[in-house]
A and B are shown apart, each in its own frame.
Chain A
Amino acid sequence: MAHHASGTHAHALAHGDGHDGHHDLEELRKFGFWIFLITDCILFAALFAVYIVLHGSTAGGPGPKEIFEMPGVIVETFILLTSSFTSGLAVLAMNAGSRKGLIGWLIVTILLGASFIGLEVTEFVKLVHEGHTISTSAFLSGFFTLVGTHGLHVSLGICWITAVIIQLARHGITPVTKRKVQITSLYWHFLDAVWIFVFTIVYLMGVM
């Protein structure tokens, strides 16, 4: 595909099979991903708006104060923030050219992500066991949907980073894998930022 953002194509024949290493092509994809993040922001903004409208509509069921257990949520938050930090360390290792360090930190990141999801699932299962489900009230519908959507994003991120780790093991640090690492890390930080809003708006303001 023609990417003459840079104007010339002199480098075209230089590399035998690795055509996909196009520098401008990688830039294009990063730019596209930023726009995708904008759309994801809007998606979450809509879900937050819905939650805020509905958070008082408990229809006789439990409200935020009765069901949120803050210690667990704080641990979750701490784990996710740490994973954002380790994903940053992964990028640093990549920039230093260390494939081992990169893969290692990515593995730490997904393990932390997985424990975050584990805790969230435990919380959901417990709520459902106590009879507080998505169909109990509008408040709980909003809660499960907003928090669950974030959880789905994190789970998707875990699968995605796993795929990137396999590719790193196979191909090493190339322009393509480099871009994939950068994009997944951007995505991961984004989910972290969204969680801060979830933590503040849903949990903190809920129990206050």
Chain B
Amino acid sequence: MLDKIKDFASWFFVTGDPLIYGADIAIALTTLAIIFVLTYFKKWTWLYREWLTTVDHKRVGIMYIIASLLMLFRGGVDALLMRTQLAFPDMKFLSPEHYNEVFTTHGVIMILFMAMPLMFGLFNIAVPLQLGARDVAFPFLNSLSFWLFFMGAMLFNMSFVIGGSADSGWLAYPPLSEMTGSPGVGQDFYIWGIQISGIGSLMTGINFIVTIVKMRAPGMTWSKVPMFTWSVLSSCVTIIVAFPVLTVTLALLFLDRYLGAHFFTMDGGGNAMMYINLIWMWGHPEVYIVVLPAFGIFSEIVATFSKKRLFGYASMVFAMMSISVMSYFTWLHHFFTMGSGANVNIFFAITTMIIAIPTGVKIFNWLFTMYRGRINFSTPMLWTIAFIPCFVVGGMTGVMLSVAPADFQFHNSYFLIAHFHQVLIGGVAFGYFAGLYYWWPKMFGFKLNEKLGKWAFWIWNIGFYVCFMPQYFVGLDGMTRRVSTYSWDTGWWAMNFTSTIGGFLMGLGFLFQVWQIAHSIKFMEKDTTGDPWNGRTLEWSIPSPAPLYNFATTPMVTERDDWWEEKERIAAGQAPKAKPALEPIHMPKNSAIPFIQSVCWFMVGFGLVFHWLWIAIPGFIGVFATMLAHSFNYKSDYYIQVDEIERTEAAARRTV
């Protein structure tokens, strides 16, 4: 009996590596600490009432952001592990197997569990407020989306200590990801972690399209919609087209692994190349899904901090919408070298290069907005300015990669790694940081410390160039990606070593950000105006943090940048816009169903990973039962009465 348990444990838990034991201990201690703190301070009901069951988009947004920052930490640690391994030739820090797992989890976590949720967090924080709306279209679904993402992320992260991680790269090409190449459970954790959170992403896409199309404040015609909201719309349109393809791709891979189907296997007539087409039909649009909202953020910030209207509004909208469509015609540039033939390669090379045009348009729009503006160099603006040269260089190396014949040289080399990190870090990460600094006061009612923020900014930026510039050269010199070591006679040591130093500098930058947040919480200066940056759009017209119902009365929009125009009018001595009388506000009630249903999905995923139907089947039943419970619930909303609104507003204004 005891032997059996031992055998089971050594198979079930990942063993053998001191790093992993360290992680086990850390996870156990953290869990215990959280349980202890919640119990000691009697916070369980608070956690349940205020967070687990909330359907308030602002809280959902905050939960997304917290989770994604934790994932940034995990993905960052993975990155530093890899960089440590690569710092010297013949390093014996990570075994090759472990290195494979680390680059796979790093890629998956950064894109799916860091960038996507950080983006959704910002959607949730800003979009309804920019629209002058009281909520998203489907608040219940919104909370479900978050919990699905969260459970998917947990499932994926668990593989690190239970069962073993996936090791076939972040896109899991077969036959490596088939049973023949990856017989362990890591690949199944990958499939279900992404599948479950992917369903959540798809629902978020639908939710925000409906919100933006149907819930704009009266008077907000399409030409008055704030630019961030436009970018969210373009991103969500891309989501609803791309994510179903991902769902199918992962489901087919699962059928191959679980039922012995032959979609992508080497035998039985399967076609591995089809997987590569399918996954990139999602994968390429995915990079635009995450970068388009960053463009929206830059547009808001550039206008606000230059105190000028955004230059070229219409061309900006047009550029974003055309990118979201064009992103579907470029997927094949990811495998120019895989024998599709010259004509196919030419087609995809040209479509790829065409995307550089709308992107260039945008860069010029931002520059023209800044031109002759009274620029205020606060942290959100600093990140925006740093983004521009970074993205220009990253974009140009991208165009180099899109030249199909040249790609035969660059393909799968460190040149590529440098390129995509430059656009992902310089575009996506910098963009979301800028957005986070920008909307932070709206979320929490205080600004983050500027001084520490500037330190973090400079360390990140210097670290970035030190880390990734040498990689272009080591790539041209022949170093391929996904290698866990190299020898002295390659001559790559100096460049790799420099790169590692840069990596650690970025880690230091992250620590400064954490310090900045902790410091600002302790010594916060409350923002009593609700408009700390002298903003232009509606979210700055209400107190910070926004009250539960957002707007006491629905704003009537008459201009683009309505709040800015209103301030100008008042400054010119005109009376502020008349506000209608208060009325009771219709609100959705909290619900535990999204959380419970997501736990059931987690059981489904976990059960299928280990082929334990005794967990998966109750999970399925739970999913089904909670859906029915929701359908039969006819009492899911209530009204906030006028006297309560008056009280809340008075309290918010008293501090003004």
Interface string of B224-244 (1 = CB under 8 A from A): 000000000000000011011
Within 8 A of B (CB), among A134-171: 134-139, 141-142, 144-145, 159-160, 163, 166-167, 171
Residues of B within 8 A of A43 (CB): 244-245, 247-248
Interface string of A40-80 (1 = CB under 8 A from B): 10110011001001100111000000000000000000000
Q: Do A57 and B210 touch (CB < 8 A)?
A: no
Give Cα distance in the complex from A28 to B639, angstroms. 19
Interface segment, one of A4-12, A119-127, A189-197: A4-12
Give Cα distance in the complex from A18 to B636, angstroms. 10
Q: Do B269 and A145 touch (CB < 8 A)?
A: no
Q: Do B138 and A20 touch (CB < 8 A)?
A: no
Give Cα distance in the complex from A40 to B202, angstroms. 11
Q: Do B210 and A32 touch (CB < 8 A)?
A: yes
- Number of A positions contacting B (CB below 8 A): 53
Q: Do A4 and B210 touch (CB < 8 A)?
A: no
Give Cα distance in the complex from A160 to B630, angstroms. 12
Residue of B137, B215, B245, B261 near A4 (CB, 8 A) is: B215
A208 at the interface (CB under 8 A from B): no
Give Cα distance in the complex from A47 to B213, angstroms. 30
Interface string of A76-119 (1 = CB under 8 A from B): 00000000000000000000000000000000000000000000
Give Cα distance in the complex from A163 to B243, angstroms. 28
Residue of A20, A47, A144 near B637 (CB, 8 A) is: A20
Q: Do B268 and A50 touch (CB < 8 A)?
A: no
A50 touching B248 in the complex, CB below 8 Å, given contacts A32-B138, A142-B263? yes
Q: Do A50 and B274 touch (CB < 8 A)?
A: yes
Within 8 A of A (CB), among B147-175: none
A20 touching B634 in the complex, CB below 8 Å, given contacts A28-B137, A46-B278? yes
Residue of B270, B628, B631 near A138 (CB, 8 A) is: B270
Residues of B within 8 A of A141 (CB): 255-256, 261-263, 268, 270
A145 touching B244 in the complex, CB below 8 Å, given contacts A5-B215, A32-B210? no
Within 8 A of A (CB), among B580-639: 583-588, 624, 628, 631-632, 634-639
Q: Do A19 and B586 touch (CB < 8 A)?
A: yes
Give Cα distance in the complex from A187 to B105, angstroms. 38
Q: Find the B residue at minimum CB distance from A142.
A: B263
Give Cα distance in the complex from A39 to B241, angstroms. 6
Q: Find the B residue at minimum CB distance from A4.
A: B554
B134 CB, nearest partner CB in chain A, Å? 3
Within 8 A of A (CB), among B258-277: 259-263, 265, 267-271, 274
Q: Do A57 and B270 touch (CB < 8 A)?
A: yes
A2 touching B134 in the complex, CB below 8 Å, given contacts A35-B240, A36-B206? yes
Residues of B within 8 A of A7 (CB): 218, 554
Q: Do A53 and B207 touch (CB < 8 A)?
A: no
Q: Find the B residue at minimum CB distance from A1.
A: B135
Instruction: Say whether chain A's binding surface is mostly helix, strand, loop, or mixed.
Output: helix
B87 at the interface (CB under 8 A from A): no
Interface residues on B, range: 35 or more
Q: Do A138 and B588 touch (CB < 8 A)?
A: no
Interface string of A9-36 (1 = CB under 8 A from B): 1101100011110100001110110011
B213 CB, nearest partner CB in chain A, Å? 7
Q: Do A35 and B209 touch (CB < 8 A)?
A: yes
Give Cα distance in the complex from A13 to B243, angstroms. 41
Q: Do A137 and B269 touch (CB < 8 A)?
A: yes
Q: Find the B residue at minimum CB distance from A9.
A: B583
Residues of B within 8 A of A18 (CB): 634
A176 at the interface (CB under 8 A from B): yes
Q: Do A135 and B554 touch (CB < 8 A)?
A: no
Q: Do A138 and B586 touch (CB < 8 A)?
A: no
Residues of B within 8 A of A145 (CB): 251-252, 255, 261, 263
Give Cα distance in the complex from A1 to B136, angstroms. 8
Give Cα distance in the complex from A105 to B268, angstroms. 46
B302 at the interface (CB under 8 A from A): no
Residues of B within 8 A of A36 (CB): 206
A9 CB, nearest partner CB in chain B, Å? 5
Residue of B270, B274, B583, B586 near A1 (CB, 8 A) is: B586
Q: Find the B residue at minimum CB distance from A18.
A: B634
| Residue ranges of A at the interface with B (Cβ–Cβ < 8 Å) | 1-5, 7, 9-10, 12-13, 17-20, 22, 27-29, 31-32, 35-36, 38-40, 42-43, 46-47, 50, 53-54, 57-59, 134-139, 141-142, 144-145, 159-160, 163, 166-167, 171, 176, 180
Contacts A/B (CB < 8 Å), 19 sampled:
A2-B549, A4-B217, A12-B583, A17-B635, A20-B635, A20-B636, A27-B214, A31-B213, A32-B207, A39-B206, A39-B241, A50-B278, A53-B274, A54-B269, A57-B268, A59-B269, A135-B262, A145-B261, A163-B628
Given contacts A9-B583, A36-B206, A134-B259, 8 further A-B contacts (CB under 8 A): A1-B637, A3-B215, A20-B635, A20-B636, A28-B137, A28-B138, A54-B274, A141-B256
| Residue ranges of B at the interface with A (Cβ–Cβ < 8 Å) | 133-139, 202, 206-207, 209-210, 213-215, 217-218, 240-241, 243-245, 247-249, 251-252, 255-256, 259-263, 265, 267-271, 274, 278, 549-551, 554, 583-588, 624, 628, 631-632, 634-639
Which 7 pairs between the two chains have the least Cβ-Cβ distance?
Answer: A2-B134, A57-B269, A138-B269, A135-B260, A141-B261, A59-B269, A1-B135
